[in-house]
């Protein structure tokens, strides 16, 4: 018997049942990336796209059988005549998005980050980036945001996409930034690759009055001992780590750099030049080829020589498991970050 494609994909990710009285700490596919008690926003990407489409008839959405898992289902329900379900065929997805862009549309193509960066790379390069078309590639499960192992953990997507000419690369932090960045990239003339957090996404930057600006790194918190340069949900983590370290007398600044390419090298160099601070890049990505190496290269080219460390995932295929366990194992938890900072400051 042949099982329909949509049934195969859906059943694979069905949440497991929990016996009565057992607390489910996390789901391998969709888990909280933030500390408990923080306010969350449901599907910020999908709702921002719906809002944009009210006044932008050129906005269309495409998915490779993953609209529910990229929050594009919100757009599909609001604008069914502007939604295209391409099935489990990422190359077709990107090629169709390119064709729509050539006809004057602004396509938002969604899938998982591993499928865009690994499976569809050549189609993105040849059909979209080389032609500098306004296709917005928005991808869920970036880095270590799923416990399903190497087949779904896009731990090298930033390294892959940074190497593609004409492509803007964005790693937003939270619901506030996803909403603002979605609106900003809709106005950007060329192609964009943006990482997505989906479902109930924490609101972290709202209390700081943050406003996303494409290509800009912004200081969220100032400090005199450590300069964290971070992107994605790791900005949530280092803000919490900065508070924990402050209780031990360590003053930490946080420079949030959501645009990985083009990198705001000028702001990063200016902040790193401030004397007496250990510079630490933190990212939800392999230690190879992501924000850390981009920052290190920018500092070297600017002639800025400072103590420099990286918090990142190892250059290896990661284990499967529950996300809190994996984040602790691979050093992305607040506790592991604070411990490493204290060790580095003592060296």
Q: For residues 19 and 94, which has the higher predicted lDDT (pLDDT)? A: 94
- Is the same domain home to 267 and 174? no
Per the DSSP assignment, residues forming a β-bridge with 256 are 218, 230
List residues with catalytic annotation. 90
pLDDT at 88: 93
* Same domain, residue pair 126 and 220: no
User: Residue 197 belongs to a domain with what CATH number?
Assistant: 3.40.50.970
**Do 176 and 275 lie in a common domain?**
no
CATH code for position 253: 3.40.50.920
* Tokens at 112, concatenated: 């998982």
If asked whether residues 318 and 183 sit together in one domain, one would say no
For 42-58, letters b (16+ CB in 10 Å) and e give ebbbbbbbbbbbeeeeb
Q: Which domain holds residue 300?
A: 215-346
48 in the same domain as 187 = yes
Q: Which residue has the higher pLDDT, 21 or 34?
A: 34
Grouping H, G, I as helix, E, B as strand and the rest as coil, residue 97 is helix
- How many Å is the Cα radius of gyration of the chain? 20
Residues 62 and 136 in one domain: yes
Name the domain boundary from 202, 223, 244. 202
Degrees, nearest 5: CA angle 319-70-220: 80
Whether the bond into 262 is cis, omega within 30 of 0: yes
pLDDT mean across residues, the chain: 91
Q: Is 20 a domain residue?
A: no
User: pLDDT of 268-308, one tens digit each?
Assistant: 999 999 989 999 999 999 999 999 999 999 999 999 999 99
Shared domain check, 322 and 258: yes
Cβ neighbors of 298 (< 8 A, separation 6 or more) are: 263, 265, 268, 269
**326 and 198 together in one domain:** no
Output the pTM of the full model: 0.91
pLDDT tens per residue, range 98-144 = 999 999 999 999 999 999 999 999 999 999 999 999 999 999 999 99
Domain boundary among 202, 224, 257: 202
């Amino acid at each position: 018997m042949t099982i329909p494609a949509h049934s195969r994909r859906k059943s694979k990710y069905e949440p497991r049942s929990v016996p009565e009285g057992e607390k489910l700490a996390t789901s391998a596919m969709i888990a909280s990336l933030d500390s408990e008690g923080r306010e969350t926003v449901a599907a910020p990407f999908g709702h921002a796209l719906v809002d944009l489409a009210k006044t932008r008839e050129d906005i269309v959405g495409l998915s490779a059988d993953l609209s529910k898992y990229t929050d594009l289902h919100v757009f599909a329900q609001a604008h069914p005549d502007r939604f295209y379900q391409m099935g489990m065929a990422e190359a077709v997805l990107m090629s169709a998005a390119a064709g729509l862009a050539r006809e004057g549309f602004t396509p938002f193509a969604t899938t998982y980050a591993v499928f865009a960066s690994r499976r569809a790379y050549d189609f993105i390069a040849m059909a979209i980036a080389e032609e500098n078309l306004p296709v917005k590639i928005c991808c869920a499960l970036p880095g270590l945001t799923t416990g399903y192992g190497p087949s779904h953990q896009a731990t090298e997507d930033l390294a892959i996409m940074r190497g593609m000419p004409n492509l803007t690369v964005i790693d937003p932090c939270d619901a506030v930034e996803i909403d603002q960045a979605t609106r900003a990239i809709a106005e950007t003339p060329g192609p964009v690759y943006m990482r997505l957090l989906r479902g109930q996404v924490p609101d972290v930057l709202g209390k700081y009055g943050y406003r996303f600006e494409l290509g800009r790194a912004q200081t969220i918190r100032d400090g005199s001992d450590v300069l964290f340069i971070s992107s994605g949900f790791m900005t949530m983590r280092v803000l919490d780590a900065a508070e924990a370290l402050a209780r031990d007398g360590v003053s930490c600044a946080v420079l949030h750099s959501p645009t990985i390419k083009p990198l705001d090298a000028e702001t990063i160099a200016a902040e790193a030049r401030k004397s007496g601070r250990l510079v630490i890049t933190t990212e939800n990505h392999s230690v190879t080829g992501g924000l850390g190496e981009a920052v290190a290269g920018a500092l070297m080219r600017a002639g800025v020589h400072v103590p420099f460390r990286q918090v990142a995932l190892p250059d290896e295929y990661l284990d499967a498991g529950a996300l809190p366990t994996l984040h602790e194992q691979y050093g992305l938890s607040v506790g592991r970050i604070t411990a490493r900072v204290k060790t580095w400051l003592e060296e």
